[in-house]
Structure 1
Amino acid sequence: MSIILSSKNKDQLLFEGFRYRRDRSVWQCIKDKYKGRARFDENIYEAYKNHTCQAPNPEEIEKAVYNYEIRKKAENSHDPPRLIIQEARLKLSSDAAADNDIPKEPTSFSEIVIPLKFQLTISNQQFLLYDNDDNQNRLLIFASRDQLDLLNGCEVWHCDGTFAVVPKLFEQTYSIHGLIREKTLPLIYSLLPNKKEETYETLFRVVQQHVQRVPRYITIDFEKGAENA
């Protein structure tokens, strides 16, 4: 038995192979159409209404914990995302890992297919801003509407690329940060296939299409292609 937070930051009870959400003073099976209930009584949890959905599913519970641990560590750790995910996957059983809905790591740009669920934020805002679908030089840009609105209000931008934390096939992760209340926040993320000037030009052109206000100051790293773009 354990209690975790869902992707919407709500309590979920994991008990005897089922997942429950809070329903006032009791817990209700997360599958809305079904009647399974659990309650806390005299220091123990017990199911008191039978489930009509399906048999207990330990692998589903494992994956719920897996997703929760990734979110929790991402909020409290400075580790690279890839390392956080790899450490969480080590705790999965082989069956749960095989059935996990995270796409397999591609071996070529043509194999990159981004499922709809990974194109959206947890509040269903579009997050995949741009995909050039180029099987030779794939370029992906990510930002939600809220992030773009924040960047639109920033007078200072900081653009920075890293080669240390980047998925295979891509050459660098490039981000655009905005200065908000004396804090620099990452608001646009992109995966670049190379350091060519035309790649940076495409990136900044897409940003200009979605952010109307021109900042007063822009700081960049020392990549010549980015500086020229």
Structure 2
Amino acid sequence: MKEVGQISNDQPARIINDVIATTSREIQPCLPRKDAVRRQIKRARRVCDEELEPKTLDDFKLPDAYSITLNGIHFAKNITEGTERILLFTTTENLEWLQEAKFWIMDETFKTVPTLFRQLYSIHAPAGGNVNFRIVSLVYALMTVKSEELYEKLFQELNEMAEEHELKLKPDFILTD
């Protein structure tokens, strides 16, 4: 089950149930408890993930699967500023929504980022029209440090991307924590 857990994206409970279903009734009582197997699968996945995670920024390469939308549009930009790095994720359509938005909501998180990066910065704004709008994430940026210089570089790049498509990013106000 541990080996299946390493190569499968299924939930541990699903893997366990599938293995039990294909195991003969005589062998089933000999199988370890479900909670013990679930821990083994999670531990094996953690080790597997650690082996795959790059150790330096130079080793970090963003696969095409994570930089191209389902429609085939490239939406990832790799930005370097000295030794620091930003991976910026957005589309032209998202920039158009940002242009139309009267306000932006910006947020940062430090808990759910790859170890080579310090934070995930996101920009949210209304999208979908004036009546049926929803607040959606329009920009994601993985950043290696939390510094004024890198924030300036991020917004400089966003403005340059917008200008390439004849867009102006000027919200009336910005909410941030």
TM-score (norm 2): 0.63
Which of 82, 93, 109 is the equivalent residue of 2:57? 109
* Matched position secondary structure for 1:110: coil
* Matched position secondary structure for 2:96: helix
Give matches, 1:63-142, under 5 Å. Answer: 66=9, 90=41, 104-128=52-76, 130-133=77-80, 136-142=83-89
Runs of 4+ in 1 over 6 A off after TM superposition: none
- Residue identity opposite 2:172 in structure 1: R
- Residue identity opposite 1:186 in structure 2: S
What CA distance in whole angstroms lies between the structure 2 residues aligned with 1:135 and 1:116?
24
1:166 aligns with 2:122: no
CA contact (8 A) 1:109 1:136 kept: no
CA contact (8 A) 2:89 2:141 kept: yes
What CA distance in whole angstroms lies between the structure 2 residues aligned with 1:126 and 1:150?
17
Higher RCO (CA-CA < 8 Å; seq separation 6+):
2
Task: Provide the identity percentage.
Answer: 28
Q: Using the TM superposition, give the Cα deviation of residue 124 of structure 1 relative to its aligned residue in structure 2, in angstroms.
A: 0.7
Question: CA 1:171/1:114 → structure 2, altered by over 3 Å: closer, same or farther?
Answer: same
Moved more, 178-187 or 148-157: 178-187
- Residue identity opposite 1:156 in structure 2: F
Question: CA 1:140/1:189 → structure 2, altered by over 3 Å: closer, same or farther?
Answer: same
As a proportion of its length, which structure holds more strand?
Answer: 1
Aligned to 1:187: 138
Aligned to 1:216: 172
Give matches, 1:6-21, under 5 Å. Answer: none
